[in-house]
Amino acid sequence: MAVPLQPLTLGIEEEYQIIDPVTRDLRTYISELLTQDQNRHKKLDLKPELMQSQVEVGSHVCRNIKEARSEITGLRRDVLELADENGLMIAAASTHPFARWEDQIITEGTRYKELLDDMQGVARQLLIFGMHVHVGFGDDPESRELLIATMNQARYFIPHLLALSTSSPFWRGQNTGLKSYRSVVFESLPRTGIPHSFMSWADYKDYEIMLERVGAFGKLDKRAKIWWDIRPHPIYPTLEFRISDICTNVNDCICIAALFQAICAKLLKLRRQNMSWRQYRHVHITENKWRAVRYGIDGELIDFGIQQSVPFYILAAELLEFLDDVVDELDSREEVGHVLTILSEGTSADRQLRVYREHGGDENQDEALRAVVDYLVAETKRGII
């Protein structure tokens, strides 16, 4: 079977918080931003999300990680400038430190109405913000088979990348004790979390068709409502990685995207050598995901080969070694190597908790949480403006 030439194409989507500069709370303003974007000479193609305090951007198809960096940096800059023109601020984090879902206004539209009708109170609580990375495989039959085979094997690595991206330690004004509370909220929906493996593209499509036949995807919005942490995209010929929190710092974002791409490239390279990565069972991978949700990079994940818990920094070093022979082909050595900076300085969740403690923590909660918002706004701008 032919294997696509590297590098594999990339696309990145990010969902940002719209922040009121006075209250530091979320602000309902997406309709105004969308209208203004349509009247701009250079349109950003902003997209609404479920809550009107959210705004989504997406890159074009990028040939490599350098192009993806240029795209995301430019999109962040333009959104920041548009928000500033409206007296607002933008923050990149997967939960707001103290905003309440009960106070949010739901975006109008068929897609969101059907989601609310179907999921009821679960959908109303989805005040979360994500980052999705697409790796292109091509739309021919052989590429689809490669996509499924790669997904089956790549599932093992995605808890590692969640740990590196965590940015949601707070929820409705509380320190949750978790590094990715977004993951907990999102998994209240059906068809989320780590997927099971599939024998082939046909096996996956049989599953999708069965769900459609029994009405799982709704009557109005026909898109496949399969929201796994890693999935074949229902429209584009891409393998979509959805497990990540959105990274506050743009360098962290590009690092995560580069890692996703490099993992796919490595697994395809093994296939060309008539080898493959071991496919681990769903129960094993979900155990590691919980540890990533709870502890981020400060904890331990299970090395199932030796059946021992191993400090995350050791596993991260092993991952870098595993990917070493593809990163130069992808021209992403610098971006992948940024993992060491994340391990040294902490993820967004780690840094938010640091700011929270420095401003009094639980004993001075209101001021400490506002300081976290200020940090998120400033860090979202760093390296952009």
Per-residue pLDDT reduced to its tens digit, 236-278:
999 999 999 999 999 999 999 999 999 999 999 999 999 999 8
Angle of the 250-272 helix axis to the 158-165 helix axis, nearest 10? 170
Architecture of domain 10-381: 2-Layer Sandwich (3.30)
Residue type, 199: M
Residue spans of beta strands (DSSP E) within the chain = 10-19, 54-58, 89-91, 131-136, 170-171, 174-175, 192-193, 227-228, 230-232, 238-241, 300-303, 308-311
Could you tell me which residues are beta bridge partners of residue 26? Answer: 19
Question: Is the separation of the CB atoms in 34 and 109 below 8 Å?
Answer: no
Q: Supply the pLDDT for residue 3.
A: 41
User: Which of 134, 161, 131 lies closest to 147, judged by CA?
Assistant: 134
pLDDT in tens, the chain (385 residues): 334 444 599 999 999 999 999 999 999 999 999 999 988 877 888 988 889 999 999 999 999 999 999 999 999 999 999 999 999 999 999 999 999 999 999 888 767 777 888 878 788 899 999 999 999 999 899 999 999 999 999 999 999 999 999 999 999 999 999 999 999 999 999 999 999 999 999 999 999 999 988 888 876 665 678 999 999 999 999 999 999 999 999 999 999 999 999 999 999 999 999 999 989 999 999 999 999 999 999 999 999 989 999 999 999 999 999 999 999 999 999 999 999 999 999 999 999 999 999 999 999 999 999 999 999 999 999 999 8
The region that residue 93 occupies, defined by phi over 0 for left and psi between -120 and 50 for alpha, beta otherwise, is beta
Three-state SS sequence of 312-352:
HHHHHHHHHHHHHHHHHHHCCHHHHHCHHHHHHHCCHHHHH
Q: How many residues does the chain have?
A: 385
Distances (CA, A) of 200 to 151, 204, 256: 11, 6, 27
Q: 230-232 and 238-241 as β-strands: parallel, antiparallel, unpaired?
A: antiparallel
Structure tokens at 167: 């940015």
For residue 152 the two structure tokens come to 């089956």
Residue whose C-alpha is closest to residue 115's, from 105, 123, 107: 123
**Amino acid type, 55:** V
Distance CA 378, CA 385 (A): 10
Among candidates 61, 4, 5, 8, which has minimal Cα distance to 259? 8
- The domain limits of the chain are 10-381
Cα gap 21→34, rounded to integer Å: 20
CA distance linking residue 183 with residue 44, whole number of Å: 28
Pairing of strands 300-303, 230-232: unpaired
Cα–Cα distance between 318 and 97 in angstroms, integer? 33
pTM of the model: 0.95
